[in-house]
Chains A and B, each alone.
Chain A
Amino acid sequence: MDRENYAISMRGITKRFGEVVANDGICLDVRWGEILALLGENGSGKTTLMNMLSGIYQPDEGEIYEDGERIYIQSPRDAYANGIGMIHQHYKLVEVFTAAQNIILGLDDGKMDLRQTNARVKEICDRYGFDIDPTMKVYDMSVSQKQTVEIVKVLYRGAKILILDEPTAVLTPQETVKLFNVLRNMKADGKAIIIITHKLNEVMEVSDRVSVLRKGCYIGTVETAETSPQALTDMMVGHAVTLNIDRPKYDNPQRKFIVEHLTCVDAEGITRLDDVSFTANTGEILGIAGISGSGQKELLEAMTGLYPVKSGSIRFIDDAGEEVELVGKTPMQIRKTGVGMAFVPEDRLGMGLVGSMGMTGNMMLRSWKKGRGALLRKKDPEALANRILDELEVVTPSTDYPVRRLSGGNVQKVLVGREIAIQPAVLLTAYAVRGLDINTSYTIYRLLTEQKMKGVAVVYVGEDLDVLMELCDRILVLCGGAVSGIVDARKAGKDEIGLMMTSTSAKGEAR
């Protein structure tokens, strides 16, 4: 390794997918013994660019140099041969294989000897400070263990250049700290590390330099020590976006939705929700935090009548102050009792919208009961679709264009627009900004806050703690299906919430 040369130098890389230019003449350099953060909004071309280093895609134009020498990467195999390893956002592991079997995939150095592999895996683990059992099946592993297997897999192949695609997206704060320590160890070992992320605090914490992409174009590279989150945000979005989310206070919050001792058990007998109690108030955004799979999905689905409830009570307080019991009712029965409940599910195109139908058709999913006889009445839904199109600035060729072909942000606007249009009393949202760019995310935050100020009880299940702490009024923290606490979002610290997300994990076996 020559310290004079860049570990990797990408020059004028262009990649097109049909009409779309995903990367436009991008240049990127990373040195040996350095952590480079690759920063950009969703859809800015970060992953595409890195996929060209790891051999998944091939550039249409441009040159790649490693240690000063031009290299050609035509397949993942070429990438490994050049010492480049990528840890993908969606782990590339065979679930039914053991860790060791996954690690040796694709290697052809002589006889298959799993015992020898296990020994080498141990050696790598000791060197950088992780811990995995090579004989464990991947399907028995936690997310963080799977990530460890991915990193060991890359190191096992002797990678000198590591690329990590959003490695912290699914980790708890504590696991993130551990991962960053490992990265620092590897950096001290002289490896070149590229980490793709859009979390500014992590960029500031772990990286040496930052390269910023915006809409497929290269914006620039700065030394982390000489920049600030505000300056990076400006580079990332092009114009200054106030990081502060507006959080007005609603004058007179009333109890609207009461959940008491809610317990749900899934088909396999595993307790998904364990004695959950809380209230949601009018004029308030109640945040729900937790590691993914802690019962968020089950909680929302139980509230909407989709998930079977074993015991407990879910009550809605109507305008007259009467309490309506919702447990045991189907979604249609709940609707008939006059409970105005809107639901923005996590799986937008699976549960929220019909992908191959247009906006109008999707509007009808909420109003089909209103028609008379066998024929559809299209006028009202069409008007609603057009209103949403104008108000939320949905980019689509027409209201009949299949929503599946719209970008993620536009899909979410259609869904949220439809749910808000019924003027709900309760609005449940699951990961409402997942996969959206910053501008659309803020549009969603604004819409939710508007609803809150109209006196709607909003429930916001989120994953980004920073957003939860700025957007919500109170935050309920779930851990292993149980409530580990409800905190005031204006006062709580991030560490405190992070700890609560893992605190009861020793108590139950539930994921």
Chain B
Amino acid sequence: MSMIISLIVAAVTFGTVLMFGTLGEILTEKSGNLNLGVEGIMYMGGAFGLAGAFYYEKAAGAAASGPVAIILAILCAFAAGALASAIYSFLTISLRTNQNVTGLALSIFGTGVGQFVGEFMRLSEGGYVALGNNLKDAFSARIWPDALVNIPVVGNILFSHTVFFYLAVVLAVAMHFFLGRTRWGLYLRAVGESPSTADAAGISITRYKYLATIAGGGISAIGGMVYIMTTAGCVWNHEGLSGVGWLAVALVIFCMWRPLNAIWGSVIFGAMMIMYLRVSIPFIPTEIYKILPYVVTVIVLIITSMRNSRDKQPPASLGLNYFREER
């Protein structure tokens, strides 16, 4: 029993990283932009988020407060992701470059920038970048009182996580509400489904695409920061982050572009990614476990395409650029 609980808790920890990445990409894709640069964006988020907290601590010294460091890390990561997505947006929306090519280029570019910033910090600080124990604890602290955490079974599963998990859940619910219940959400979906319709209805395609893509990139980048600051223990670790962005892209498909599905979807993906550490079956190499999320995504794609539901489809103009005067 306790093994299952600890597996779930660990799955949630890694799932939180994925949830940010996925939620950001869902927002982006709802506008019809397929941003394949999530991998690079999350690298940048990780490096800049760490930098934000690290230089804040260096400046503030012993007086550095945990909450401020967390907010700064979120802001820095968001800004880095937003900037990277702004480049992507300018290229694909204003200059109408191919989205796949641009996304892949951003992936490579972002990975490089993240590596550079991470290594630069390491070298310029004498070979080691790490936050002090105070801040480290702040990033991985539980936010609910012990009374709740100590409730048998449920307490650990629901209340033992870091602040980032609850933030991600709130964000998922907020996005669900935004997309389904508000005028702006409806318009954003219209832009992603049929830009010419939205355009003829007087909706600014450019504005919606830019805003959704930039905000989406920022949210994805927070995922990278969460990985560095929780799982990696506030130390620059480029290996752990590799592949996470691609997993988020697969998870968007798994969730059928619905933010609420991202909550449980990311926990399942998280579980599959860490299973090899917890459940070992002899003769099965760990790589088999690691491909599980992708296998599941393919299965989900097969099932949904067999059921052929008109409502469970990607945004109809996903990956296509829009030009009003095209003939």
Contacts and interface: CB of A to CB of B under 8 A. Distances in A.
Contacts of B193: 94-97
A137 B313 CA distance: 15
A112 B201 contact: no
Interface stretch (B63-71, B182-190, B290-298): B182-190
B1 interface: no
Q: DSSP majority for the A interface?
A: loop
5 contacts: A57-B325, A76-B202, A92-B200, A96-B316, A139-B310
Given A75-B202, A102-B197, A106-B187, 7 more contacts: A56-B324, A76-B199, A92-B200, A92-B201, A96-B313, A96-B316, A112-B181
B292 to A, nearest CB: 30
Given A92-B196, A93-B197, A112-B183, A105 B203 contact: yes
A96 B194 CA distance: 10
Interface in A217-263: none
A105 B308 contact: no
Contact of B202 (A80, A88, A97, A102): A80
B130 interface: no
B182 A105 contact: no
A108 interface: yes
Contacts of B327: 17
A95 B310 contact: yes
Given A77-B202, A106-B187, A268-B308, A94 B325 contact: no
A301 B214 CA distance: 47
B287 interface: no
A471 to B, nearest CB: 30
B311 interface: yes
A94 B310 contact: no
A93 B193 CA distance: 9
Contacts of B183: 104, 107-108, 111-112
A235 to B, nearest CB: 26
A18 to B, nearest CB: 10
The 7 closest A-B pairs by CB, nearest first: A77-B202, A106-B201, A92-B197, A105-B201, A106-B202, A112-B183, A92-B200
Contacts of B194: 92-95
A79 B182 CA distance: 25
Contact of A105 (B181, B198, B310, B325): B198
Interface string B273-315: 0000000000000000000000000000000000010110100
A16 to B, nearest CB: 11
Interface of A: 17, 54, 56-57, 75-77, 79-80, 86, 88, 92-97, 101-102, 104-108, 111-112, 137, 139, 153, 268
Nearest to B186: A101
Contact of B311 (A76, A96, A108): A96
Nearest to A267: B308
A102 B193 CA distance: 12
A95 B316 contact: yes
Interface in B157-199: 181-183, 186-187, 189-190, 193-194, 196-199
A98 to B, nearest CB: 11
Nearest to A106: B201
Nearest to A58: B325
Nearest to B192: A94
A94 B189 CA distance: 9
Interface centre among B183, B187, B189 (most CB of A within 10 A): B183
Given A54-B200, A75-B202, A94 B182 contact: no
A108 B187 CA distance: 10
B246 to A, nearest CB: 27
